[in-house]
Amino acid sequence: MKTYIEERAVEVANFIIHSNATVRETAKKFGISKSTVHKDVTERLSKINPKLASEARQVLEINKSERHIRGGLATKEKYMTLTGHTRLKGFK
């Protein structure tokens, strides 16, 4: 594996761990695809630094389990902005 790829994988993992970043946020920050972020953390980093890979995967698993909540909140905020209401009927 090329050195710059190994370095990127470590940087990506550290960013995810320290900022609780999602795959999408990480991809945007580093200018790479979501697939590359996933591959760096799950495959490449496991060979370089298994402990760091495990920590990064834990953060990504938590984010994955919470994504439906973030999506719902984003939808709620979108419709509140569109309608000009401070509270939508049926939402708390």
DSSP for residue 22: -
Distance CA 42, CA 21 (A): 15
pLDDT band at 17, cuts 50/70/90?
A: very high
Note the pLDDT tens digit of each residue in 29-56.
Answer: 999 999 999 999 989 999 999 999 999 9
Task: Give how far Cα 54 sits from Cα of 4, 27, 43, 69, Å.
Answer: 21, 19, 11, 24
pLDDT band at 7, cuts 50/70/90?
A: very high
DSSP for residue 40: I
Note the pLDDT tens digit of each residue in 55-90.
Answer: 999 998 888 776 666 767 678 788 788 887 766 556
pLDDT value at residue 2: 87
